[in-house]
């Protein structure tokens, strides 16, 4: 994991926020390559689950909402973790994280032992609310209290009728959103896996409730979304052997959930949640209807009945998708693939690679740079993420692109001056082929499944 962390900082993927001031715990900034990769993941997610579907529409809700939203959702009362404090060094931890052994390390040799000082003497657990508080307006009192949203889901519930009526959607249908969320986590760590500021991509998919005569339909849609969610990762080339499903036992389900299944990835720090699918039943809409005193029932024009839909919620963290892709793609050559032993290759899927095509002149003379720069501009104009590099030997430039995950490199050489062709080199196979310059756009469109 240390090598990945080092590469990500050195090459401009991720680094600690406010680093020149010593950093802030569990807050990260995404550099030039990191933001390109995150945006590529979000675009691919949106295209897959919104643009290409007729039954899902999107919204963008605000980070700040009316405080009563969080009363209705149960967050003010129930969005807590069990907090304990070491009586010796006063470090604070989630009790369940001490109990399950994930904090073993440092001076902690066993469960329920402080990693900082090794003590086993802790205070009694108390509930700690994970929501960040703020105030709306210039007065800081209870009447102006607000919260940074801990999840994106609630705006999709409060806007249910507005979306359904304005977009003329019929159940079953979904509302999708990608957005920032904030949680004042007690225990952070594992790089940018668990942070206090993060982006969630999720869908609230509204389906007929069992009471409407559609018994079992909620489970049918649950299973469909679970398959689609898992397929999203596999389609990005993530190793299927490192992905598994974890069914939450009934006793550990959230207060709103009938069923929850996590999709986990085997990170270097162990199996951890990448994404999840939950059957939230009609809890949220009924609760918001009760607190707001507004009618949130859906009228089914075909049957003439009114009901509160059930909700299937597939959700995933964008940063966790990115971290899994980086971990899964990081490879060090053993020397058998034509590379030198120890050379790093980041085998990212072309759709989410921050740079998709590197473009090089063989040498910095004889108009080769001008041709290479023109190719870079033309590919970039077609929204193929391209990068021009003329510094160092051609082998060194290949290696620089390999370690950031660039799938293809284009080299302009002296043959180009004769026949307008270039060398295209594949990152994974190392195969090279000659392609005419005027055919490059179609060549990469086909590789990227674009049209």
Supply the pLDDT for residue 185.
83
Report the residue count for the chain. Answer: 451
Asked if 310 contacts 283 with a C-beta cutoff of 8 angstroms, the reply is: no
Q: How confident is the model at residue 145 (pLDDT cuts 50, 70, 90)?
A: very high
Asked if 312 contacts 226 with a C-beta cutoff of 8 angstroms, the reply is: no
pTM of the model: 0.91
- When pLDDT is averaged across residues 129-136 and rounded to a whole number, the result is 91
Supply the pLDDT for residue 97.
85
Q: How confident is the model at residue 337 (pLDDT cuts 50, 70, 90)?
A: confident
Helices marked H in 12-169 = 32-46, 67-73, 75-78, 95-99, 153-158, 160-166
The average confidence (pLDDT) of the chain is: 94
Residue 262 has pLDDT above 90, yes or no: yes
Supply the pLDDT for residue 30.
97
Q: Which stretch of 29-38, 166-175, 182-191 has the lowest confidence by average pLDDT? A: 182-191
- In the chain, the percentage of residues whose pLDDT exceeds 70 is 100
Sign for the CA dihedral angle at 121, 127, 131, 132 comes to: negative
- When pLDDT is averaged across residues 193-197 and rounded to a whole number, the result is 91
Q: Return the closest-CA partner of residue 226 out of 243, 249, 250, 208.
A: 243
Supply the pLDDT for residue 255.
81
Instruction: List all residues 6 or more positions away from 418 whose beta carbon is below 8 Å from its beta carbon.
Output: none
- When pLDDT is averaged across residues 22-43 and rounded to a whole number, the result is 96
Helices (H) and strands (E) in the chain, counts: 14, 23
The string of pLDDT tens digits covering residues 241-253 is 999 999 999 988 8
Could you tell me the residue ranges of all domains in the chain? Answer: 2-72+137-327, 80-129, 355-447
Supply the pLDDT for residue 109.
87
Highest mean pLDDT among 53-62, 67-76, 95-104, 206-215: 53-62
CA distance 185 to 192: 13
Q: Starting at the earlier edge strand, list the strands of the sheet with 432-436.
A: 386-388, 357-361, 408-412, 421-426, 432-436
Helices marked H in 12-152 = 32-46, 67-73, 75-78, 95-99
- When pLDDT is averaged across residues 427-435 and rounded to a whole number, the result is 96
Strands (E), 23-139: 28-30, 56-58, 80-85, 92-94, 126-129, 133-135
Q: Which residues pair with 411 in a beta bridge?
A: 360, 423
- In the chain, the percentage of residues whose pLDDT exceeds 90 is 80
Residue 371 has pLDDT above 80, yes or no: yes
The string of pLDDT tens digits covering residues 381-400 is 999 999 999 999 999 999 99
Sign for the CA dihedral angle at 205, 206, 209, 212 comes to: negative
Q: Return the closest-CA partner of residue 385 out of 412, 406, 411.
A: 406
**Residue 188, both tokens:** 């952070």
Instruction: List all residues 6 or more positions away from 206 whose beta carbon is below 8 Å from its beta carbon.
Output: 160, 164, 171, 172, 173, 174, 175, 298, 309, 310, 311
CATH architecture group of domain 355-447: 3-Layer(aba) Sandwich (3.40)
Q: How confident is the model at residue 289 (pLDDT cuts 50, 70, 90)?
A: very high
CA distance 80 to 68: 17
Q: Return the closest-CA partner of residue 191 out of 317, 341, 347, 76.
A: 317
Q: Which stretch of 29-33, 94-98, 346-350 has the lowest confidence by average pLDDT? A: 94-98
Supply the pLDDT for residue 107.
79
**Residue 89, both tokens:** 């060094």
**Overall fold of domain 2-72+137-327:** BirA Bifunctional Protein; domain 2 (3.30.930)
- Would 2-72+137-327 and 355-447 be classified into the same CATH topology? no
Residue 153 has pLDDT above 90, yes or no: yes
Supply the pLDDT for residue 190.
84
- When pLDDT is averaged across residues 188-193 and rounded to a whole number, the result is 82
Host H or E run for residue 229: helix 217-235
The string of pLDDT tens digits covering residues 208-235 is 999 877 778 899 999 999 999 999 999 9
Supply the pLDDT for residue 350.
97
Supply the pLDDT for residue 28.
94
């Amino acid at each position: 994991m240390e090598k990945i962390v080092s590469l990500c900082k050195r090459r401009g993927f991720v680094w600690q926020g406010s680093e020149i001031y010593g950093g802030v715990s569990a807050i990260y900034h995404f550099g030039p390559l990191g933001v390109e990769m995150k945006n590529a993941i979000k675009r691919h997610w949106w295209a897959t689950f919104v643009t290409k579907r007729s039954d899902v529409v999107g919204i963008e809700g605000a980070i700040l909402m009316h405080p009563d939203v969080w009363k209705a959702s149960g967050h003010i009362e129930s969005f807590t973790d069990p907090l304990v404090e070491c009586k010796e060094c006063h470090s604070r931890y989630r009790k369940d994280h001490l109990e399950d052994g994930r904090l073993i390390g440092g001076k902690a040799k066993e469960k329920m032992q402080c990693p900082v000082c090794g003590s086993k003497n802790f205070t009694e657990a108390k509930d700690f609310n994970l929501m960040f508080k703020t105030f709306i307006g210039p007065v800081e009192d209870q009447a102006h209290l607000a919260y940074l949203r801990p999840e994106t889901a609630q705006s999709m519930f409060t806007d249910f009728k507005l979306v359904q009526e304005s977009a003329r959607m019929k159940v079953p249908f979904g509302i999708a959103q990608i957005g920032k969320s904030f949680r004042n986590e007690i225990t952070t760590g594992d790089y940018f896996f668990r942070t206090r500021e993060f982006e969630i991509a999720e869908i609230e998919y509204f389906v007929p409730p069992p009471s409407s005569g559609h018994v079992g339909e909620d489970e049918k849609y649950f299973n469909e979304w679970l398959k689609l969610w898992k397929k999203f990762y596999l389609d990005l080339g993530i190793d299927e052997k490192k992905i598994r499903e974890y069914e939450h036992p009934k006793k550990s389900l959230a207060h709103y959930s009938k069923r929850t299944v996590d999709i986990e990835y085997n990170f270097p720090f162990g199996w951890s949640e990448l994404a999840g699918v939950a059957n939230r039943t009609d809890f949220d809409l009924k609760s918001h209807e009760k607190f707001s005193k507004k009618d949130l029932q859906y009228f089914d024009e075909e049957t003439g009945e009114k009901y509160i839909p059930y909700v299937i919620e597939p959700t995933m963290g964008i940063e966790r998708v990115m971290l899994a892709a980086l971990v899964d793609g990081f490879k060090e050559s053993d020397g058998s693939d034509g590379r030198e032993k120890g050379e790093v290759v980041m085998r990212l899927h072309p759709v989410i690679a921050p740079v998709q095509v590197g473009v090089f002149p063989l040498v910095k003379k004889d108009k080769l740079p001008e041709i290479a720069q023109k190719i870079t501009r033309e590919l970039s104009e077609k929204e193929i993420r391209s990068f021009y590099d003329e510094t160092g030997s051609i082998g060194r430039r290949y290696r620089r692109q390999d370690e950031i995950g660039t799938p293809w490199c284009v080299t302009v050489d002296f043959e180009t001056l004769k026949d307008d062709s270039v060398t295209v080199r594949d990152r994974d196979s190392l195969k090279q082929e000659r392609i005419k310059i005027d055919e490059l756009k179609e060549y990469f469109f086909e590789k990227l499944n674009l049209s």
